[in-house]
């Protein structure tokens, strides 16, 4: 099991898997402190075979899992990460499909598994075209108050818009920003697998899904 000083040699998923395996008697104590304990589970090609067993362990501990797949920086414009190794990307396989299907069939506590897994499957390893330039369904604001093209890419023209520029006097989104999204998306986007873009697009298409996007504790209290 890696020590904290060695964490750079492990993916978050691998590190968390080790900690879950070693600390199953300690994790439940957080259930009384944190009402909606969620594990962010990031999968890459080196640990893909452990998805089911790790999520099962977390579910047994009453911890919700948010499952996503590793993404890489495909160019210098992808400023969200310095990971560029394509071999880490997860490709579709029979083994992966069986694990995802089993998670859904067994009803493990995974955020939107039934809805998201089929959509994630379609875009693996990293081929999502979110259509953000056609319908601004997801806004990402940077730490300097500038609008980003998305979480993955800051963009060039898009950051010229600040938060205060987004909303007009009537409380509506200023569609003047759309031209920047169109230009930056065309010039710099090479696809991704950012699941939040999938979820926001789903909400545009069906507002009734808002309840499903809550984590388990929130749903139980409604």
Q: Of the candidates 185, 178, 176, 130, which has an alpha carbon nearest to the alpha carbon of residue 154?
A: 185
pLDDT category, 219, cuts 50, 70, 90? very low
* More reliable by pLDDT, 175 or 66: 66
Q: What is the pLDDT of residues 43-96, one digit of tens each?
A: 999 999 999 999 999 999 888 899 999 999 999 999 999 999 999 999 999 999
- Same domain, yes or no: 21 and 120: yes
Both tokens assigned to 32: 């009384």
Q: What is the pTM of this model?
A: 0.79
Q: Looking at the structure, do residues 60 and 122 belong to the same domain, yes or no?
A: yes
pLDDT tens figures, 118-145: 999 999 999 999 999 998 888 899 999 9
Residue 107 exposed, middle or buried by CB count within 10 Å (0-12, 13-18, 19+): exposed
Cβ-based neighbours of 75, under 8 Å, separated by 6 or more = 188, 190
Tokens of 157: 């023209």
Clarify whether residues 13 and 70 are in a common domain. Answer: yes
Q: Can you give the residue range of the structural domain that contains 172? A: 140-188
When divided into structural domains, the chain yields a total of 2
Dump strand ranges (E) for the chain. Answer: 38-43, 64-69, 140-141, 147-148
């Amino acid at each position: 099991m890696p020590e904290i000083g060695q964490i750079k040699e492990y993916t978050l998923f691998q590190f968390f898997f080790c900690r879950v395996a070693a600390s199953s008697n300690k994790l439940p104590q957080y259930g009384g402190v944190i009402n909606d304990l969620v594990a962010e589970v990031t999968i890459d090609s080196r640990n893909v075979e452990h998805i089911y067993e790790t999520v099962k362990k977390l579910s047994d501990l009453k911890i919700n899992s948010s499952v996503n797949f590793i993404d890489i920086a495909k160019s210098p414009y992808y400023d969200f990460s310095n990971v560029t190794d394509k071999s880490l990307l997860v490709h579709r396989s029979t083994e992966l499909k069986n694990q995802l299907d089993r998670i859904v069939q067994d009803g493990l506590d995974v955020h939107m598994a039934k809805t998201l897994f089929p959509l994630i499957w379609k875009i693996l390893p990293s081929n999502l075209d979110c259509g953000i330039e056609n319908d601004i369904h997801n806004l990402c604001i940077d730490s300097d108050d500038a609008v980003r093209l998305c979480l993955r890419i800051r963009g060039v023209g898009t950051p010229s818009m600040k938060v205060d520029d987004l909303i007009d006097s009537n409380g509506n989104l200023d569609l003047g920003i759309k031209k920047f999204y169109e230009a930056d998306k065309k010039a710099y986007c090479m696809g991704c697998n950012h699941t939040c873009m999938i979820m926001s697009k789903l909400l545009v298409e069906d507002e009734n899904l808002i309840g499903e996007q809550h984590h388990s504790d929130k749903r139980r209290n409604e």
